[in-house]
Chain A
Amino acid sequence: DAKTTQPNSMESNEEEPVHLPCNHSTISGTDYIHWYRQLPSQGPEYVIHGLTSNVNNRMASLAIAEDRKSSTLILHRATLRDAAVYYCAGANNLFFGTGTRLTVIP
């Protein structure tokens, strides 16, 4: 089975950049990497996804390692509303990591 691992928690100061890492140890060459975030009592919310090259959208940026064994979600300026549990998913959303709880300090 594909393995997707993330740190349990991270902290960031408000308005500073945040880099959330994820390891995809057994991802295949054609599988997309996705990122979601989840607030309490809600379903996960799509953030960004990519295959090989770095991706940007209005919410975040996604950096994918050349060997695709790791990815990093980048929030350029963390706000209090970004406090959530962030999940990376490999193998086209089949295997989710255990999530990183991001705390944003005002």
Chain B
Amino acid sequence: KAGVTQTPRYLIKTRGQQVTLSCSPISGHRSVSWYQQTPGQGLQFLFEYFSETQRNKGNFPGRFSGRQFSNSRSEMNVSTLELGDSALYLCASSLVDASYEQYFGPGTRLTVT
């Protein structure tokens, strides 16, 4: 069974631009969560989607948004990028919800200059 895939793997953007990251969960998994990982703050929860509905949201500004499609694939968008948004963005999928074990993708490394 294929694992969680994320595209692109690396991205360089300029401050003020916007970016969209994509995540394809493991087949049959209906829950997708997004995390931001930085050396200073560690792994921080962004949001969780299930059946195209956002179920949980972390403490991030409204510039961070996401959505889930009917095939469970998910995207997250960051608008008006700031230097502090440079991070590894991880997507994780689970069978039903985030109380189950999660399987992480390799992440998208975003660099904002």
CB distance from A92 to the nearest CB of B (A): 4
Interface string of A63-89 (1 = CB under 8 A from B): 000000000000000000000000101
Report the nearest B residue to A6, measured CB to CB.
B42
Query: Does A93 lie within 8 Å of B105, measured CB to CB?
Result: no
Query: Does B42 lie within 8 Å of A43, measured CB to CB?
Result: no
- Contacts A32-B99, A34-B101, A92-B97 hold; do A42 and B45 have CB atoms under 8 A apart? no
- Contacts A96-B43, A99-B42 hold; do A43 and B4 have CB atoms under 8 A apart? yes
**A21 CA to B102 CA, complexed, in Å:** 21
Query: Does A43 lie within 8 Å of B45, measured CB to CB?
Result: no
**A53 CA to B109 CA, complexed, in Å:** 37
Query: Does A43 lie within 8 Å of B58, measured CB to CB?
Result: no
Report the nearest B residue to A57, measured CB to CB.
B101
Report the nearest A residue to B56, measured CB to CB.
A94
Is the C-beta of B103 less than 8 angstroms from some C-beta in chain A? yes
Interface string of A5-37 (1 = CB under 8 A from B): 000000000000000000000000001101010
- Chain B contacts with A in 77-110, Cβ cutoff 8 A: 90, 92, 97-107
The range of chain B's interface size is 20 to 34
Query: Does A93 lie within 8 Å of B42, measured CB to CB?
Result: no
Query: Does B44 lie within 8 Å of A96, measured CB to CB?
Result: yes
Query: Does B98 lie within 8 Å of A87, measured CB to CB?
Result: no
Report the nearest A residue to B58, measured CB to CB.
A94
Since A43-B90, A92-B98, A93-B98 are in contact, a sample of 9 more A-B pairs with Cβ atoms closer than 8 Å, ordered by chain A residue number, is A1-B59, A32-B99, A36-B102, A43-B92, A44-B43, A87-B43, A93-B92, A96-B43, A99-B42
Pick 7 A–B contacts, CB within 8 A, sort by A: A41-B106, A43-B106, A93-B33, A93-B45, A94-B45, A96-B45, A98-B42
Residues in B lying within 8 Å of A, measured CB to CB: 4, 33, 35, 42-45, 56, 58-59, 90, 92, 97-107
Residues in A lying within 8 Å of B, measured CB to CB: 1, 31-32, 34, 36, 41-46, 49, 87, 89, 92-99
